[in-house]
Structure 1
Amino acid sequence: ICTVIPDRPTLDVQVSDIRRLPSMAYRNNLTVFSFGQLSAPVKGLWNDPTPDEMWVYLHRMRNGGEAFSLGHSFPSWYDRFWEKNPRNPDAWVEEHPEWFAHGYKGRPRPTQVCYSSDAVVSQTVADARAFFDAQDGKKNQNRFYALGPDDNDWFCKCAACIKLIQPRPKGVKSDHFSNGRASDYWFTFCNRVARELRRTHPDKYVSALTYSCYAAHPGFQVEPNIALNLALEGNMCIDDPQNIANRHIWELYGKWVASPAGQRPIVLYLYTEFPEAAPWGAGYTTFPGFRARLSARQIKRYVKDNIFGILAEFPTTQLNQYMYNQLTFDAEQDAETLINEFFDLYYGSAAAPMRKLWLEIEEVFTSPENWPLDPDNPGKDVGISERTSWRLMGTTERMSRWAGYMSEATAAARTETEKARVALFRKAEWEPMVRAKQQWDNKASHDNDIEALKQAPPPSARIARLKTPAAGDAGKVDWGQVQAIPITRDLYGYPAPPLRPDTREVAGEVEARVAAEQAAGAPRAEIRLAHDGRHLYVWLREHVGADGLAMGSSVFTGDGWELFWAAQRDKPYRQVGITPRCAFEAHAYGELSTWESGIKIAAELKDGDWTTILSLPMTHVVSGGLKSGQTLYFNAIRHYAAPVPTVALSPHFVRNHHVPERLAALVVE
């Protein structure tokens, strides 16, 4: 359905020579490996293609060009130099714990290497030389060896490393995600590697990841054989100098391009999955990120700035993708001509109303007035919330007008292919927009309640003392005698809707019972807490229905619980993430070491009810231990694999799960 092959009665082949140099040497405009993780609207617009179909599409769109290595480059070091991995035994070389980040006693393993270590520099140089030597005699040789820290900022705490890392600014509610706190640290390491590599491979580069807290230009010059992989947050969805976050991103970009570093190869890592990916785990659909004209202007700017190439992290909508494909290959093409070509060839008789619909949506999405600043956090990254999507962008008046365009397009489509393409847009994009608007309007009716909740203190309850000690075994607790605390609201404070209404079929006695309970206002989930003076016990239950549970790629993705504990509504606090299979991670924030929790967990899925019980020593709950008469500040957050709103015992009114000032107060009896 999505492939356009022009039909001509006569094939006339003109003999001519065409010589063209692509506008960008590296064109990785769509990464197939990530296609399965996309939101339903984007996948649906592409008619849910298979990976093979996408590979053919990439080939047809001339995706590729010169090879360029980039990204996080040190994950393999754990199997090589930290400990032997029985699932990857051939990678093992020898043990070098001194090469890894210091100062994280208690963690199973460090999460970075020590970038000030002479030995780490030497091994990295050796790896780069081996990488290039292995390519001798091969075609399309890769001139770039990737250098990138692991995807976190838990850097080494040795004296040599710490002196090069700036502390987080005090009194600032939220730093920009892309900043330069560790730029001097990271690029000191990159410069050392580059200088040594140049001795033996003067025509090769290291490609340095430029991202997160090392996104800004360092306070010194970068070696000339360092290429750059600029991964700046957001998608630059607007060009608005009044928007602090947007201006900050462009300033970072501009300093790199204007510096001597700008004379070297620079690849932009673009987060093209946004805004569609913004609500992952939040349970809503964003306003669609149509930006063909904006993308055209930006790509032409990149080409003018001599950008070597781009990598689009995820596929985006068809027209956006078409502009990336066409203009990175030949930026001299006229954007309006390409847009008209797309609609005329793809939608045919329905082109006019579909063009109006797409371009009006784009105009709304890319207008700065529809991207308000957060008054409490004006430096917040460019993002899109449910409120922005459906109160400011998808207004009732606009949605009504656009519904008329959809009706016009449906009536105008003549051929079966045209009808199928219009229907594809309706199902994949328009109908989710309508549902999202209805969901928001329903939430908006609770705005007064939400404001009252924000002004009220967080919830409070009591942790009952058991009459009979359970000796650390949560299975021995008579939970029927412990009062349940209902979880009835999502993370933003709105009433939690019935679980997975679009995917679950209500059938059988159990499902009928749950449907009736939810209709009567029964809580989404419940939690019970008790103690016996030595151990704290927690019981969690939620009806997950016939769909069951899904594991994620980590403890904090997929279906799971997150529990937070503190002795006050501030740091230090502690966190436990729990999966349906009882795997867990325990983390401490504002403390020097990892939390040794002593947690024991059991779980059961029966009749659609997921029950999790756990215990831990009261001496381990918070720093200094938990005692009778004390107040435990606590929250329980349930996150989902499905597009369902995250729910919480104490709503935060923001997406962030780490909001200690909103912890519930539980008095220990």
Structure 2
Amino acid sequence: MIIRFLTFCSFCCALLLSGCIQEQKSFTFDNACIVISSDPTSSVRLAATELQYFIHKTTGFCPEIISELPSEKTRAIFVGKSAYTEKMKYPDRPFEEQEYLIDITSGHIVLIGQDEDYQSDAERNKGRDNNGLSPEKDRLVLNYAAATGDSSVKDVMFALPSIYDAQGTCYAVYDFIERFLGVRFFGPHPENVFIPAAKKIKIDRQQIRRTPAIKHRHTTYTFDWPLIKDQYIGASVEMQQLFLRRLRIGGRKWASNHAFTGYQARFLQTHPEYFAKGRGGGASERQFCYTNTGFIRQVAQDAINYFKGGGTIAEQVALGDYFAVVPLDNASWCTCNACQQELALDKENIVGEHFNCGTATHYMWNFINNVAREVKKEVPDKKIAALAYHVYAYLPKDVELEDNISVAPCLHPRNYWAPGMERNEMSFYKAWIEESKKSGRDIYLWNYLCFPTERGLVTDFHVFPGFNIHKTSEQLRMYASDQVKGIFLCGTGEQLDFYITMKLMDDPSLDTDVLLDDFFTNYFGSAASAMKQFYLKIESVYSDPKNYPEEIQTKDAQYHQTEELAWKYLGTKEVMDELGEYIADARKTASNEIEKSRVESWVKGIWEYMMEGYHAYNQK
């Protein structure tokens, strides 16, 4: 495939468009070209390259990418802002955050979106997200041939936009590719991408203008975990990074995570009074005195310095308008009188034996409030990003929180096979949602898609897979309805769960069962029925509380999967025998090499992993 930028004699765009083939009611790609600015942004360059590639793959026709239209009458696909789109008055009104437009006529298509980043370079580049990356470091140079696994692509290298760069035009192009070309980005490896057979495509006149429902969409990168890596068929880092853009990962700049690790080296010698009295430990262990006024002022000043362009230091977490204020990940609190008096207020503020509770609610939210109040004096339009997590998960009902605090409840939707966990977490989640409606507070979420796989990695056993896309879908639609601003996924989850999760973050009105049918039909072809039954059987067993011991069904406590739960209660002989039959059927019915390869990626990535766990447990 050839990608070229051509310069022709320019002429009046209005004359060209008026002369387009008027008798046609639909747009076809015959002799069409892709038109971009002569100085395209990285977002537009990526969008145009991807559009050209997939038009070529689906139709056999490869449109040239040009910056000036030829003199003869030509169908044109305008990608991103250019002199032509300005002359045609696209858009007719300013774009909102991440908004984009798809406008299709018989003679031209316009794919354009909100690509302007209105933040300063200091704010855009000098923060770091929950993975420790800054947007600046996220603009990787991509070898497009390597990322697509297509040797016909020659000498095409360019910088990817950061996932946090405004890239509405990319969103428009990816929507177009999926909606009208039928391409599906089921994973990062070329074999994970479904591309329909070459055909002549006609697209009726229409206009689509929309924006993703959830504005922040990000995740920890767990592509090399069990139950994930083999489904992605050994995808390279370049393939993974392109995949993230295709799924619209990123969006609004927000980050919140434990943020005081670097304070140990900064202040242990000069300000020992900042540290928790009666406690020890290393940089990620020793807590601080969260009632100490000097420490409060220091944290506030660090936030102010960041917002004024100073960047983050000492492993702080911040992006855009948000600076994280979250304590270290333990409850070894300071033993000074002031701290202990505040902690005493919440001694009984816990339901059952839940991890997420409120036994440090007043203590921690008063600290966060004090920092936010100091920050507000100098930068009132910026936000302190806090987590509602562990012993400070519950809303402090008698504390009036500053309006420059954003809150992210931390939820375990993949563990809601324990009904008590779901009741507890939905209770404090709803409390925060109701408070946000009254105060106008930004609500984000931290969702754990890492379980149960992470539990298996930590405690060294093979888990029964945590497939539960129907429950996840139910939650995502609730989040969107509650106007949650963003979701950080702690762990990507397996191939299908991650794919549908990202589709629903973009558009929660999509039907989960339609997405499931689309995945299995297009991905596995002749083996679709057997593979779908395989997935749904695992999901039904994993998600149903009735398959767990009675204590789990009735007790108010946090639970995680154990080896005994996995292979005594879930992966029983009867269940494994049934799953084995589905796998045997899929292997038999897969009708071509790509279907067989995709089936084998699930055999190796899921079924063989499960069999190893089942036999290891039963041999003990």
Query: What is the rounded CA distance, in whole Å, between the counterparts of 1:68 and 1:279 in structure 2?
Result: 30
1:290–1:358: 8 Å Cα contact kept in structure 2? yes
Larger Rg: 1
Query: What is the rounded CA distance, in whole Å, between the counterparts of 2:284 and 2:239 in structure 1?
Result: 40
Asked if 1:193 corresponds to 2:371, the answer is yes
Change (3 A) 1:135 1:98: closer
* SS in structure 1 at match of 2:406: strand
Map 1:604-615 onto structure 2 (within 5 A): none
1:365 corresponds, among 542, 549, 553, to 542
**Alpha-carbon deviation of 1:216?**
1.1
1:237–1:291: 8 Å Cα contact kept in structure 2? no
**Alpha-carbon deviation of 1:427?**
1.1
2:346–2:360: 8 Å Cα contact kept in structure 1? no
* SS in structure 2 at match of 1:52: helix
Question: How many residues were matched structurally?
Answer: 421
**Alpha-carbon deviation of 1:296?**
0.9
**Alpha-carbon deviation of 1:5?**
2.3
Q: Specify the code of the residue in structure 2 equivalent to 1:222.
A: L
1:236–1:246: 8 Å Cα contact kept in structure 2? no
Query: Over residues 248-277 of structure 1, what are the superposed CA-to-partner deviations in whole Å (9 max), with x where a residue is unaligned?
Result: 122121221122477422221111111122
**Alpha-carbon deviation of 1:141?**
7.3
Query: What is the rounded CA distance, in whole Å, between the counterparts of 2:458 and 2:377 in structure 1?
Result: 49
Change (3 A) 1:337 1:141: same
Query: What is the rounded CA distance, in whole Å, between the counterparts of 2:553 and 2:198 in structure 1?
Result: 59
Asked if 1:216 corresponds to 2:411, the answer is no
What percentage of residue pairs aligned between the two structures are identical? 29
Query: What is the rounded CA distance, in whole Å, between the counterparts of 2:200 and 2:427 in structure 1?
Result: 53
1:287–1:393: 8 Å Cα contact kept in structure 2? yes
Q: Specify the code of the residue in structure 2 equivalent to 1:320.
A: D
Asked if 1:249 corresponds to 2:412, the answer is no
Change (3 A) 1:173 1:146: closer
Query: What is the rounded CA distance, in whole Å, between the counterparts of 1:369 and 1:418 in structure 2?
Result: 35
Q: Which runs of 5+ in 1 are unaligned?
A: 84-94, 444-669
**Alpha-carbon deviation of 1:325?**
0.7
Change (3 A) 1:109 1:410: closer
Query: Over residues 358-417 of structure 1, what are the superposed CA-to-partner deviations in whole Å (9 max), with x where a residue is unaligned?
Result: 112111111121233547993331322222222222222222122111111111111211
2:220 corresponds, among 7, 19, 31, to 31
Change (3 A) 1:375 1:327: closer
TM-score for both structures, normalised by structure 1: 0.59
Change (3 A) 1:145 1:284: same
**Who is 2:481 aligned against?**
304
**Alpha-carbon deviation of 1:169?**
6.3
**Who is 2:295 aligned against?**
120
Map 1:28-427 onto structure 2 (within 5 A): 28=218, 30-32=219-221, 34-36=222-224, 38=225, 40-83=226-269, 95-104=270-279, 111-134=286-309, 142-166=320-344, 175-219=353-397, 220-232=399-411, 234-238=412-416, 243-260=419-436, 263-374=440-551, 378-427=555-604
Query: What is the rounded CA distance, in whole Å, between the counterparts of 2:482 and 2:413 in structure 1?
Result: 18
Query: Over residues 46-79 of structure 1, what are the superposed CA-to-partner deviations in whole Å (9 max), with x where a residue is unaligned?
Result: 2233332211111000111100020011112122
Query: What is the rounded CA distance, in whole Å, between the counterparts of 1:367 and 1:403 in structure 2?
Result: 21
Query: What is the rounded CA distance, in whole Å, between the counterparts of 1:176 and 1:373 in structure 2?
Result: 17
Query: What is the rounded CA distance, in whole Å, between the counterparts of 2:259 and 2:282 in structure 1?
Result: 21
Query: Over residues 145-192 of structure 1, what are the superposed CA-to-partner deviations in whole Å (9 max), with x where a residue is unaligned?
Result: 11100111112111111111149969x998321111111111101111
**Alpha-carbon deviation of 1:16?**
4.5
* SS in structure 2 at match of 1:268: strand
* SS in structure 1 at match of 2:454: coil
Q: Specify the code of the residue in structure 1 equivalent to 2:384.
A: V
1:295–1:323: 8 Å Cα contact kept in structure 2? no
Q: Specify the code of the residue in structure 1 equivalent to 2:510.
A: Q
**Who is 2:197 aligned against?**
7
Query: What is the rounded CA distance, in whole Å, between the counterparts of 1:108 and 1:257 in structure 2?
Result: 34
* SS in structure 1 at match of 2:409: strand
* SS in structure 1 at match of 2:208: coil
Q: 4+ residue runs of structure 1 moved beyond 6 angstroms?
A: 105-110, 167-170
Query: What is the rounded CA distance, in whole Å, between the counterparts of 1:11 and 1:108 in structure 2?
Result: 59
**Who is 2:611 aligned against?**
434
2:414–2:451: 8 Å Cα contact kept in structure 1? no
CA RMSD of aligned residues (A): 2.7
* SS in structure 1 at match of 2:194: coil
**Alpha-carbon deviation of 1:227?**
0.2
Query: What is the rounded CA distance, in whole Å, between the counterparts of 2:381 and 2:244 in structure 1?
Result: 30
1:101–1:110: 8 Å Cα contact kept in structure 2? no
Query: What is the rounded CA distance, in whole Å, between the counterparts of 2:206 and 2:247 in structure 1?
Result: 21
